[in-house]
Copies of this chain bind each other. A is one copy, B any other.
Amino acid sequence: MNFYYSFFVVFSIAFSIHANAQEHPNLILTKSGVETIKKQLGTIPIFDTTLNKVKNAIDQEIASGIHVPIPKDMAGGYTHDRHKKNWITLQQAGVLYQLLADDKYAKYVHDVLKEYAKIYPTLPLHPQTRSYARGKIFWQCLNDSNWLVYVSQAYDCIYDYLSKKERDNLEKNLFIPYANFLSEGSPQFFNRIHNHSTWGNVAVGMIGLVMDNQELIDRALYGLKSDNIDPNQKDNDGGFIKTKGQKTGFLANLDEPFSPDGYYTEGPYYQRYAMYPFMIFAEALQNKKPELKIFEYKNGVLIKAVYALLNLTNANGEFFPLNDGQKGMSYYSRELVSAVNIAYHFGGNDPSLLSIAKQQNRIQLDDTGLSVALGIQQKKAKPFIKKSIELRDGSDGTQGSVGILRSKNQQFGLVMKYTAQGLSHGHYDKLSFSYYNKGNEILQDYGLARFVNIEQKNGGGYLKENKTWAKQSIAHNTIIQDEISHFEGKFKIGSTHHSEKYLFDVSNPKLQIVSAKEDNAYPGTNLHRTMLVLEDNDFENPLVIDVMQFKSKTTHQFDLPFYYNGQIIDTNFEYSSPETLTKVGEKNGYQHLWLEGKSILKEERTLQTTWKTNQTFYTLSTLAKQNDEFLFTRIGANDPNFNLRRDPSFLIRKPKQEEGVFISVVEAHGSYNYVTEIANNAHSNIKKITKNSTKNKNYVSWSILTKKDKKHTFVLCTTDSNNKTSHTITINGKPFSWVGPYTHNKEN
Contacts and interface: CB of A to CB of B under 8 A. Distances in A.
Given A332-B675, A454-B682, 13 more contacts: A76-B679, A326-B674, A326-B677, A329-B675, A330-B674, A333-B675, A334-B676, A453-B679, A455-B682, A456-B569, A456-B683, A568-B641, A581-B594
B679 A330 contact: no
A453 B567 contact: no
Interface in A472-523: none
A334 B581 CA distance: 44
Contacts of A581: 580-581, 594
Nearest to A331: B675
A24 interface: no
Interface in A727-748: none
Interface in A629-655: 632, 634, 636, 639-642, 645-646, 648
A621 to B, nearest CB: 15
A672 B454 contact: yes
A579 to B, nearest CB: 8
A682 B76 contact: yes
A597 interface: yes
A243 interface: no
A677 B453 contact: yes
Contacts of A672: 454
Interface of A: 76, 326-330, 332-334, 451-457, 460, 567-570, 575, 577, 579-583, 594, 596-597, 610, 612, 632, 634, 636, 639-642, 645-646, 648, 672, 674-679, 682-683
Nearest to A609: B642
25 contacts: A76-B679, A76-B682, A328-B674, A329-B674, A329-B675, A330-B674, A333-B676, A334-B676, A451-B569, A454-B682, A455-B683, A456-B682, A456-B683, A457-B570, A567-B642, A567-B645, A568-B641, A568-B642, A575-B640, A577-B640, A580-B581, A580-B583, A581-B594, A596-B636, A632-B642
Nearest to A318: B674
A580 B582 contact: yes
Contacts of A675: 328-330, 332-333
A673 to B, nearest CB: 9
A454 B569 contact: yes
A326 B672 CA distance: 13
A717 B683 CA distance: 58
B646 A456 contact: no
Nearest to A330: B675
Nearest to A673: B328
A502 B454 CA distance: 42
Contacts of A577: 639-640
B634 A646 contact: yes
A614 to B, nearest CB: 10
A632 B640 CA distance: 11
Contacts of A677: 326, 329, 452-453
Contacts of A456: 569-570, 610, 682-683
Contacts of A594: 581
A309 to B, nearest CB: 14
Nearest to A594: B581
Contacts of A452: 677
A291 to B, nearest CB: 36
Q: In the complex, which of the residues A568, A640, A672 has the most CB atoms of chain B within 10 Å of its own CB atom?
A: A640
A657 B587 CA distance: 43
Nearest to A577: B640
Nearest to A576: B640
A563 to B, nearest CB: 14
A460 B679 contact: yes
Contacts of A678: 453
A412 to B, nearest CB: 23
A679 B455 contact: yes
Nearest to A611: B642
A407 B329 CA distance: 32
Contacts of A648: 646
Contacts of A640: 575, 577, 597
A565 B634 CA distance: 17
A566 B567 CA distance: 16
Contact of A679 (B333, B454, B567, B646): B454
